[in-house]
Amino acid sequence: METKIRATITGTGSYLPAKILTNAELEKMVDTNDEWITTRTGVKERRLAAAEEAASDLGAEAARRALKEAKVKPEEIDCLIVATITGDMPFPATACFIQNLIGAKNAAAFDISAACTGFIYALSIGKAYIESKTYKKVLIVAVDLLSRITDWTDRGTCVLFGDGAGAVVLEPTTGEQGIHSIYIGADGALTHLLHQPGGGSRNPATAKTVADRMHYIKMSGNEIFKLAVTAMLDSARKALDQAKLKCEDITLLIPHQANIRIIEATAKRLKLPVEKIFVNIQKYGNMSGATTAIGLDEAYHEGRIKKGDYVELVAFGAGLTWGAAVIKWGK
3-state secondary structure of 287: coil
DSSP state letters, 125-143? HHHHHHHTTS-S-EEEEEE
| Among candidate residues 176, 192, 213, the one where a domain is terminated | 176
Question: Pairing relation of β-strands 252-255 and 218-219?
Answer: unpaired
Whether 290 and 201 map to the same domain: the answer is: yes
The CATH number of residue 261's host domain is 3.40.47.10
| 160: region left, alpha or beta (phi > 0 left; psi from -120 to 50 alpha) | alpha
CA 270 vs CA 81, 185, 274: distances in Å: 31, 19, 11
Answer yes or no: do 46 and 114 share one domain. yes
Q: Give the residue ranges of the chain where pLDDT is below 70.
A: 1-2
Does one domain contain both 167 and 134? yes
Q: Could you give the angle at the alpha carbon of 148 between the alpha carbons of 146 and 154, nearest 5°?
A: 80
- pLDDT at position 221 is 83
- Assess if residue 1 is contained within a domain: no
Q: What is the DSSP letter of 156?
A: T
φ, ψ at 231 (rounded to 5°)? -65, -40
158/186 same-domain check:
no
CA atoms within 13 A on the CB side of 47: 24
Q: Do 62 and 190 belong to one domain? A: no
Q: Of 147, 176, 205, which residue is a domain's last?
A: 176
How many CB atoms sit inside 10 A of residue 266's CB? Answer: 24
Helices (H), the chain: 23-27, 34-41, 55-70, 94-102, 118-131, 207-211, 221-242, 260-270, 281-284, 290-301
Q: Are residue 310 and residue 232 in the same domain, yes or no? A: yes
Q: Return the closest-CA partner of residue 160 out of 54, 32, 51, 49.
A: 32
267-276, pLDDT tens digit by residue? 999 999 999 9
- Regarding whether 259 and 192 lie in a shared domain, the answer is yes
Q: What confidence score (pLDDT) does residue 2 get? A: 66
Q: Among residues 130, 161, 176, which one ends one of the domains? A: 176
Q: Looking at the 3D structure of the chain, how many domains does it have?
A: 2
| Same domain membership, residue 264 and residue 147 | no
Within this chain, do residues 15 and 136 fall inside the same structural domain, yes or no?
A: yes
Residues classed as catalytic = 116, 256, 286
Do 167 and 215 lie in one domain? The reply is no
Rounded CA separation 232/308 (Å): 24
Task: Specify whether the CB–CB gap between 231 and 265 falls below 8 A.
Answer: no
User: Which domain range does residue 81 map to?
Assistant: 6-176
Is 245:304 a contact under the CB 8 Å cutoff?
A: no
Given a contact cutoff of 8 angstroms between Cβ atoms, the answer to whether 170 and 194 are in contact is no
Indicate the DSSP class of residue 33.
Answer: -
